[in-house]
C-alpha cells in the first residue's frame, strides 16, 4: 500500500477489490470509501489530529450521537459500492433517494441476458396479513416447477425478440423495453454513512423483501469492517432498538413501579386486554407494541471472505451473457 495521509480502515482495505455473490447472478463490492469511525468523532468535535483519543472515548461519543439522533457527523463518512441486482430489486433500492447513482445503460450497451430465478424455498404463497409479502410457506414442488417453466418461456421469447432487434441494428433503447423485471442491472452507488445506516435498517428488516435483504446483509457485513463502532451502535439502537409512541410509553409506565423500577403487572400482555384500549391503542398497534417488547436476537452480519470473487469473474460472466451481434454490413 502506498503512503497516504488520509484516514484508513484496515477492515475496509481488506474488502477492496473483493466481489461478494448475491442471489444467482448478483454481487456487491466495496470499491472505495472515505473516512472511519474516528472521522465521525473529529467532525463532531470539529477537531484535528489522529491518535489522540482512546477507542473507548470514540465509542462513547459515537453511541451518544446515535442515541440522541445527532446524525450530521455521520454524514462525513462515505462508501462507494458496485452492485448488481435484478431490476425489481433495483426499483425498491432506488426509493432511497439519498445516494449518488450511475446505472448500467441499456440505451448505450447491450443488456446481458441474465435473469433471476427464485429457488423452491423462496417461491411462497401470498401472506394473508401482509399485502406486500410472502407467507413463509413454500408452494408445492410441482407449482414451483411450473412457475420456472413459465418464467423460462417468457424469458426465451423476450430474449429472442431483443437479440433479433439488436441483430437487425434497431435502436437498443427500444429493443430493451419488453425485457422482464428479472433481468439483471448494475450500478455504482455512493452514499454517506448516515443514509447507509437508514437504508440498511429498513432493508435487513424481516419485513423487507427477502431478495433485497440478501444485499442488505452483505453490505451490513461490509459496514462492520469499515466502521465497527458505528456498526455496533447501529445494531444496539436501530436494529435491536425500538421507537415507542406516547401510548406505548404509558403502557410501560403501568407495568413499571416508579419507586423501585420493579414490574407491577404481568409484562406478557394480550392484544385484547382492556387496559390497552383505554390507552388509545388500536389492535394492530397493540400487536406491534408487544412485538417490540419481545426478546430480540442480535443479528450477526459477518462476511465470509472466502466467498468473495475477483472482479474478472463477474466481468467474464456478464460478457458471456451479452448477445453476440454480427457487425457485418447488410446488403
**Catalytic (active-site) positions:** 203
d(CA 217, CA 39): 24
Task: Give the CA angle between residues 191, 194, 197 to the nearest 5°.
Answer: 90
Q: How far, in Å, are 123, 132, 144, 183 from residue 150 at the CA level?
A: 14, 23, 10, 15
**What is the rounded CA–CA span in Å between residue 116 and residue 154?**
13
* Consecutive H or E run containing 84: strand 78-86
Task: Give helix then strand counts, H and E, for the chain.
Answer: 13, 7
Element (H, E) at 102: strand 100-103
- CA dihedral of 148, 150, 155, 157, whole degrees rounded to 10: 150
- Cβ 198 vs Cβ 97: under 8 Å: no
Length of the chain: 331
Whole-number Cα distances in Å, 243 to 46, 133, 237, 246, 288: 30, 23, 9, 10, 11
The answer to whether 228 and 37 are in contact (CB under 8 A) is yes
Indicate the pairing of strand 19-22 with strand 26-34.
antiparallel
CA-wise closest residue to 185 among 80, 283, 108, 130: 108
Half-sphere exposure of 325 (CA within 13 A, CB side): 20
DSSP 75: G
Are the C-beta atoms of 216 and 23 separated by less than 8 Å?
no
Amino acid at each position: 500500500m502506498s503512503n497516504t495521509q488520509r484516514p484508513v480502515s484496515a477492515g475496509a482495505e481488506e474488502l477492496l477489490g473483493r466481489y461478494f455473490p448475491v442471489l444467482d447472478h448478483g454481487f456487491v463490492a466495496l470499491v472505495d470509501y472515505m473516512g472511519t469511525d474516528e472521522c465521525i468523532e473529529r467532525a463532531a468535535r470539529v477537531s484535528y489530529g489522529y491518535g489522540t483519543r482512546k477507542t473507548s472515548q470514540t465509542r462513547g461519543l459515537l453511541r451518544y450521537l446515535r442515541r440522541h439522533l445527532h446524525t450530521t457527523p455521520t454524514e462525513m463518512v462515505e462508501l462507494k459500492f458496485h452492485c448488481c441486482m435484478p431490476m425489481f430489486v433495483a426499483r425498491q433500492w432506488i426509493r432511497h433517494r439519498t445516494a449518488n447513482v450511475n446505472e448500467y445503460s441499456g440505451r448505450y450497451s447491450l443488456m446481458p441476458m441474465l435473469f433471476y430465478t427464485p429457488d423452491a424455498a423462496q417461491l411462497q404463497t401470498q401472506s394473508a396479513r401482509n399485502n406486500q409479502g410472502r407467507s413463509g410457506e413454500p408452494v408445492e414442488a410441482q407449482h414451483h416447477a411450473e412457475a420456472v417453466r413459465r418464467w423460462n418461456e417468457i424469458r426465451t421469447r423476450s430474449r429472442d425478440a431483443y437479440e433479433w432487434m439488436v441483430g437487425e441494428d434497431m435502436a437498443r433503447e427500444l429493443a430493451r423495453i419488453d425485457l422482464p423485471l428479472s433481468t439483471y442491472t448494475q450500478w455504482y452507488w455512493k452514499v454517506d454513512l448516515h443514509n447507509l445506516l437508514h437504508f440498511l435498517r429498513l432493508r435487513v428488516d424481516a419485513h423487507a423483501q427477502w431478495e433485497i435483504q440478501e444485499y442488505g446483509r452483505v453490505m451490513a457485513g461490509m459496514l462492520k469492517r469499515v466502521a465497527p463502532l458505528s456498526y455496533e451502535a447501529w445494531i444496539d439502537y436501530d436494529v435491536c432498538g425500538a421507537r415507542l409512541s406516547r401510548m406505548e410509553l404509558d403502557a410501560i409506565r403501568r407495568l413499571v413501579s416508579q419507586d423501585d423500577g420493579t414490574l407491577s403487572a404481568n409484562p406478557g400482555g394480550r392484544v385484547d386486554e382492556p387496559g390497552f384500549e383505554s390507552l388509545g391503542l388500536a389492535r394492530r398497534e397493540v400487536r406491534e407494541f408487544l412485538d417490540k417488547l419481545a426478546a430480540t436476537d442480535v443479528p450477526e452480519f459477518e462476511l465470509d471472505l472466502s466467498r468473495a470473487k475477483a472482479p474478472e469473474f463477474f466481468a467474464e460472466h456478464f460478457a458471456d451473457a451479452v448477445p453476440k451481434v454480427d457487425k457485418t454490413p447488410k446488403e
